[in-house]
Amino acid sequence: STGCALMAMSFAAHADVTLTNRDSKSHDITIKCNATTQSSIGSNTTLGIGRGPCTVTVKSTQASATGSGNDKLVIKNGAVGAQ
């Protein structure tokens, strides 16, 4: 619906934690902000994941990192950390 699209755009205006995958392969991830979401991120892709605090876990390695505000989290070689 149009209401959902407008709401999504208004959230984008806030500072969001971003997650960038610098690996050449996609990763299945778990994102835990207010709720826990199972997702995936493609190679060389950046996602806005929420206002935070948000914890991202890479399923294949169980590596995790937490960010909030406008923190930038990066996946490299299956590990995740703050940029």
pTM for the structure as a whole:
0.80
> Which pLDDT belongs to residue 15?
76
Q: Which pLDDT tens digit goes with each residue over 28-80?
A: 999 999 899 999 999 999 999 988 899 999 999 999 999 999 999 999 999 99
Residue 7 has pLDDT above 90, yes or no: no
Question: How many residues in total does the chain contain?
Answer: 83
Chain-centroid distance of CA 67 in Å reads 9
Q: Are 27 and 16 in contact (CB under 8 A)?
A: no
